Structure 1
Amino acid sequence: MEQLELGPIRTLLYGAIAGACSEAATYPYEVVRRQLQMQLWTTRLSPLASCVKIVEQGGVPALYAGLSPSSLQVLPSAAISYLVYKFMKIVLKEEST
């Protein structure tokens, strides 16, 4: 059986980096979504208005409040998923892309 091209440690590291990038890019949307879920139907704001309200109240860093604990959950999952994906490509003899 072929070996992983990068080795398991580097593959896990690259998966974690990819997870960190995706988490940082999408986390503000998650904050706005949670804010929308907590609003009452009678006073519901649009997603854009909710985002503006969050930034007005706490600045841009408010859009990233809670990113660290969320990353602690996402990074291992992304790393392991990437490793398993690469490993299964080898096991199933799938062409490299």
Structure 2
Amino acid sequence: MARQIAHVLHLAEGPHSVVQVLPFSAGAHGMPSSITLLDFLDAPRAVYAEGYGTGQLIESPAEVQAATLAYDLLQAAALSPAESLSWLRSELEDLRT
């Protein structure tokens, strides 16, 4: 686990990654799958939803709006990027001692 956390910390230092931890204390989030918000220069936003053994591209404006809201609510409940990195560093230190 220590190597995995160290790898996440390394990736978070790059210019293209933002890491936010959603602690268990935030409660159940209700997101049934992982989603990726896809923004394009010449097309409307889309969502890629992924579950066990399946993936789906969602382009319906109403469904994209609902997924975006769900993402925004998760992001608001999560630790800030700075707090998340601090939490990960603390967890890493605990694992190494």
Computing the radius of gyration over CA atoms, which structure comes out larger, 1 or 2? 1
Greater share of helix residues, 1 or 2?
A: 1
Global fold match (TM > 0.5): no
| TM score, norm. by length of structure 1 | 0.31
Point out which structure has higher relative CO (alpha carbons under 8 A, 6+ apart): 1
| TM score, norm. by length of structure 2 | 0.31
